[in-house]
Amino acid sequence: MNQKQQKPTLSGQRFKTRKRDEKERFDPTQFQDCIIQGLTETGTDLEAVAKFLDASGAKLDYRRYAETLFDILVAGGMLAPGGTLADDMTRTDVCVFAAQEDLETMQAFAQVFNKLIRRYKYLEKGFEDEVKKLLLFLKGFSESERNKLAMLTGILLANGTLNASILNSLYNENLVKEGVSAAFAVKLFKSWINEKDINAVAVSLRKVNMDNRLMELFPANKQSVEHFSKYFTEAGLKELSEYVRNQQTIGARKELQKELQEQMSRGDPFKDIILYIKEEMKKNNISEQTVIAIIWSSVMSTVEWNKKEELVAEQAIKHLKQYSPLLAAFTTQGQSELTLLLKIQEYCYDNIHFMKAFQKIVVLFYKVLCLNRPQMARD
């Protein structure tokens, strides 16, 4: 009775955690030490570096430490926010930033990245993320480091290792404001065009809808074709300047056609439409031949045409007679008249129902002085 009663206890089964389910502690420093030790042993022989990285992927967790791996290969060690290397961190000189600042050396480094990513495909996304991050850190790098990174990026864009969407990082407000983006773009596009050509560059930019955004490399008050052309032409990139100028003209033409069709659908007076077109021609340096082609296309798209061949000719004559003053206003040159005639011919041949209407349309325009007018009448 005097014995102390034992308190009841709950007993259960203790489960042993499987080794594969145990989470390994995230330790980028240890990973960094392994990579740097290996790079130190290989030295500056980039063939040996590529072989070391290939073999190490079987032993080290590249998937988990992709950012650390690419930090080391580019900057020599793990980067802190802003792009600086911590003073107490181990670093290596076998990296892009410590290499010689020339195109041949950067091409050799590009091969190292190519081989690594071809061997370990899962690194593709991590590498793109790394480059995007590095571009945002540009202010934290020296001018020489920025130049090397720009050349390397251009080469990797040319050979398809990187997607042109990474260039979005260059539109960062602070980078643009301080002129870092434009200066970086010069080196990047030089190496890119050196590997390919302007047409290949244009295709890559178009795929990611960046072909019309290049002027955003400059602050808002400098976003003009004139400033862009002057800056990049003086830097030795005349082909890029001409490409942007052509893109701007194409964009202006599309905008002109869109607005023209809206004005026609609203039934705006011809004098207002003519004034608008002339202002756009002057502002965007658009020729009369280009404008007459746009007007013809817009006029023919504003109506739903009859499917019967015997009725469409009459409908076309009535419709075109209504718009003849607009067409006449922009056929003041012989070349413009010829352009209009060719556009009529193309349209009639492309749309079979208009075949019999071709002759009647041409006669109509002769009668309303759209075509073949004496020079005196123009003056």
Domain contains 66: yes
Judged against a pLDDT cut of 80, whether residue 105 lies above it is answered with yes
Residue that is last in its domain, among 188, 203, 218: 203
Cα–Cα distance measured from residue 347 to residue 316, given in angstroms and rounded to the nearest whole number: 12
Based on the fold, state whether residues 76 and 193 are members of the same structural domain: yes
Q: For residue 86, give Cα distances in angstroms to 9, 10, 142, 150.
A: 54, 52, 16, 23
Among the listed ranges 6-15, 60-69, 262-271, 336-345, which one has the minimum average pLDDT value? 6-15
Q: What are phi and psi of 85, to 5 degrees?
A: -95, 130
Cα–Cα distance measured from residue 296 to residue 288, given in angstroms and rounded to the nearest whole number: 12
Domain contains 102: yes
Domain contains 68: yes
Domain contains 352: yes
Based on the fold, state whether residues 325 and 195 are members of the same structural domain: no
What's the structural domain count of the chain? 2
> What digits encode the pLDDT tens for the residues 221-249?
999 888 999 999 999 999 999 999 888 88
Based on the fold, state whether residues 183 and 309 are members of the same structural domain: no
Judged against a pLDDT cut of 90, whether residue 151 lies above it is answered with yes
Judged against a pLDDT cut of 50, whether residue 97 lies above it is answered with yes
Three-state DSSP class for 100? Answer: coil
Based on the fold, state whether residues 324 and 183 are members of the same structural domain: no
Based on the fold, state whether residues 336 and 188 are members of the same structural domain: no
Based on the fold, state whether residues 173 and 316 are members of the same structural domain: no
* pTM more than 0.75: no
Based on the fold, state whether residues 191 and 322 are members of the same structural domain: no
> What digits encode the pLDDT tens for the residues 16-25?
545 554 455 6
- Please say whether the beta carbons of 76 and 92 come within 8 A: yes
Pick the closest to residue 57 from 34, 77, 25, 80 (CA basis).
Answer: 34
Residue 282: the pLDDT is 87
Torsion of the alpha carbons at 116, 122, 123 and 124, rounded to the nearest 10? 100
Confidence class of residue 377 from pLDDT cuts 50, 70 and 90?
A: very low
Domain contains 324: yes
User: Average pLDDT, stretch 164-181?
Assistant: 95
Confidence class of residue 372 from pLDDT cuts 50, 70 and 90?
A: very low
Domain contains 289: no
Based on the fold, state whether residues 52 and 179 are members of the same structural domain: yes
Residue that is last in its domain, among 203, 218, 237: 203
Q: What percent of the chain has pLDDT over 70?
A: 89
Residue 175: the pLDDT is 96
Residue 341: which domain range? 304-378
Cα–Cα distance measured from residue 101 to residue 322, given in angstroms and rounded to the nearest whole number: 66
Based on the fold, state whether residues 176 and 51 are members of the same structural domain: yes
User: Average pLDDT, stretch 69-84?
Assistant: 91
Based on the fold, state whether residues 39 and 166 are members of the same structural domain: yes
Residue that is last in its domain, among 175, 203, 231: 203
Domain contains 83: yes
Domain contains 283: no
